[in-house]
A and B are shown apart, each in its own frame.
Chain A
Amino acid sequence: MPLMIVGTVPYENFPLTYSGCSFKDGRLNLGRESIPVLRGTPALLAAACIASEVLGLEKPRALVAGDIGLGDGSRQVYAHIVKYLPECNEQIIVFHYLQPDVDWHNRILIKIEELDRRPILVADAGYMYVAKMSGFAASYDLFTPDVGEMAFLADESAPHPFYTRGFLLQEDDGVPELIRRAYEHENAARYLLVKGKTDIVASVNGIVADISEPCVENMEPIGGTGDSLTGIVAALICCGRSVPESAALGAKTNRIVGHVANPTPAWSIADLLSCLPQALRDVL
């Protein structure tokens, strides 16, 4: 069981589910449930399923519950993972759309630190917010912010992107300074993959890689394209590549998906995923 993805799905009564998952005919199959792939954790899971198949990996495992923003499903997930972690044998855990809660975050991190073999930790979306908020961002191996979220990581006083101070909310050309500032205040993971006009892979030592071609501007408004990128990167890490190499290859793959599909801003992530297998093969 190498890859575990932890998050939520946007349905009020979706039960707590811990199972292998698969993607077929545009739908994500989770245990007995089947849901459409529009954005969020389902998009990450779908991309991870496709990439895992191309890479010859076993299916990712998903730990999800329904949550429409009240935090109830997130708390079910948190409680389950705290209980499950002592038996954890995953190589990599990706934390995704979860209601930020510092107390639960810290309980989970303590359990992870107690493991004999610590998994690679990737945080995106709400869990990246809480990882930063907790002051333990450096305990993670990879964060995958977009430019707005990068400004949040750079703002040592902001507990959520909603409070990012205006002078930090710049366009893409200010990203290197935001990265430097995030590391200065220990608000970044070991590696960052900043998703933007140019995707940037960085560490505390500076920029490791930048990927700007092919450039498909219409990808930015499409919900779920950042989520799918995190799923691709997670699968690449799972097959033994280093975190920064996986981040750079994943960014390139996602761009080729956009280049081949040539979407309008009105497309959905589901429209793009059919191009993922070939794009990943091309990059490898």
Chain B
Amino acid sequence: MNLLSRMLGAFRKSGVKADLHDKGVSERGLLIFEHTSEVIRAESLLKEAGIDVAVKGPPPEVRTGCDLAITFPIVASLQVSHVLEKAKIEPLQVLSLQDLLLEPVSIYCVKDFGDYLMVRAANMKITVDKRDLRIVNISGGGCPDVPYLAARLVGKTLMEAPEPRSLGSTLCGYALQLAYEEMRRRCP
């Protein structure tokens, strides 16, 4: 069964019919992947393709560890399947949206150290020298990609540093992406 068939099958099983605009019927589907790194890559590709996707925590019944999942509009199923097939990324499961999704952190802690500004998202902190927008430190986190990301970002400016999502593989890497985006918003 190809990816598109699996995607459409998931919604038929859950009773989602043709009229996706009816109230009370979920308009979004959920993609579950084997590894967080696939989620991060898929999210980037789907966003680049202009699809309204969001990263969420999967419901407990499909959770295997520190997981991420991607929600997407059912109406864009075909486009989603094309993008993922082209990139050779295959989700483990395609589900209709559950109402048990966990919300990623959305509150940022910002500390001003004079010449330096620190932004924390969840457990990840990024600190920038305000004078030249150079990333001077990354701290916090507990997944193994954090030291790896720090080694590649620290010393570069916000403009020249790679986005954490392009190198990261875990939820800590994703939290660092959120902190990085908030820092970029504050230091345009």
Contacting pair A97 B104 (CB below 8 A): no
Q: Which of B6-14, B41-49, B85-93, B139-147 lines the interface with chain A?
A: B139-147
- Whether A61 sits at the interface, judged by CB under 8 Å, is no
B107 CB–A CB distance under 8 Å: yes
Q: Is B125 an interface residue (CB 8 A)?
A: yes
- Asked whether A40 lies within 8 Å of B147 as measured between CB atoms, the reply is yes
Q: Which of B65, B139, B142, B154 has the most CB of A within 10 A?
A: B142
A187 within 8 A of B: no
Q: Does B57 contact A (CB under 8 A)?
A: yes
Q: How far is the CA of A206 from the CA of B45 in the complex (A)?
A: 48
Cβ-defined partner of B105 (8 Å) among A68, A169, A264: A169
Q: How many A-B residue pairs have CB under 8 A?
A: 177
B150 engages A166 (CB within 8 Å): no
Alpha-carbon gap, A70 to B37, bound state (A)? 7
Question: What 0/1 readout, one digit per residue, does chain A (214-232) give for beta carbons within 8 Å of chain B?
Answer: 0001101111111000000
Residue interface mask A62-80, B partner, CB < 8 A = 1:
0000011111011000000
Task: Tell me if B172 counts as interface (CB < 8 A to partner A).
Answer: yes
Which residues of the other chain, A, contact B63 by a CB distance below 8 angstroms?
Answer: 159
Q: Which residues of B contact A102 (CB under 8 A)?
A: 65
Residues of chain A with a CB closer than 8 A to B120's CB: 148
Among residues of B, the one whose C-beta sits closest to the C-beta of A150 is B123
Interface flags for A43-75 (1: CB within 8 Å of B; 0: not) read 000000000000000000000000111110110
Whether B144 and A68, one on each chain, are in contact in the complex, defined by CB atoms closer than 8 angstroms, is yes
Q: Assuming A171-B109, A221-B127, is B136 touching A265 (CB within 8 A)?
A: yes
Instruction: Indicate whether A2 reaches chain B with its CB closer than 8 angstroms.
Output: no
Interface pair B65/A127, CB less than 8 Å apart: no
Contact B145 A69 (CB under 8 A): yes
Which residues of chain A are near B172, meaning CB under 8 Å? 126, 161-162
Query: Hey, what's the 0/1 contact readout for B82-111 against A, CB within 8 Å counting as 1?
Result: 000000000000000000001111110101
- Nearest CB on A from B48, distance (A): 22
Greatest chain B CB density within 10 A among A10, A165, A266 is at A266
Q: Does residue B66 face the partner (Cβ distance < 8 Å to A)?
A: yes
The SS class assigned to the A binding surface is loop
Query: Cβ of A162 and Cβ of B105 under 8 Å apart?
Result: yes
Of A68, A74, A164, A171, the most chain B CB neighbours within 10 A belong to A68
| Distance A40 CA – B142 CA, assembled complex (angstroms) | 8
Contact with B along A147-183 (1 / 0, CB 8 A): 0110010000111111111100101000000000000
Q: Does A101 contact B (CB under 8 A)?
A: yes
- Which of B65, B149, B151, B175 lies in contact with A162, CB distance below 8 A? B175
- With both beta carbons as reference points, the residue of chain A lying nearest to B126 in the complex is identified as A221
Question: A9 to chain B: which residues have CB within 8 Å?
Answer: 147
Is A161's CB under 8 angstroms from B122's CB? Answer: yes
- Point out the residues of chain B lying under 8 angstroms from A149, CB to CB: 123, 140, 142
* Residue of A100, A126, A162 most packed against chain B (CB within 10 A): A162
Chain A nearest Cβ from B181, distance in angstroms: 14
| Interface 1/0 per residue, B168-183 and A, CB below 8 Å | 1111111100000000
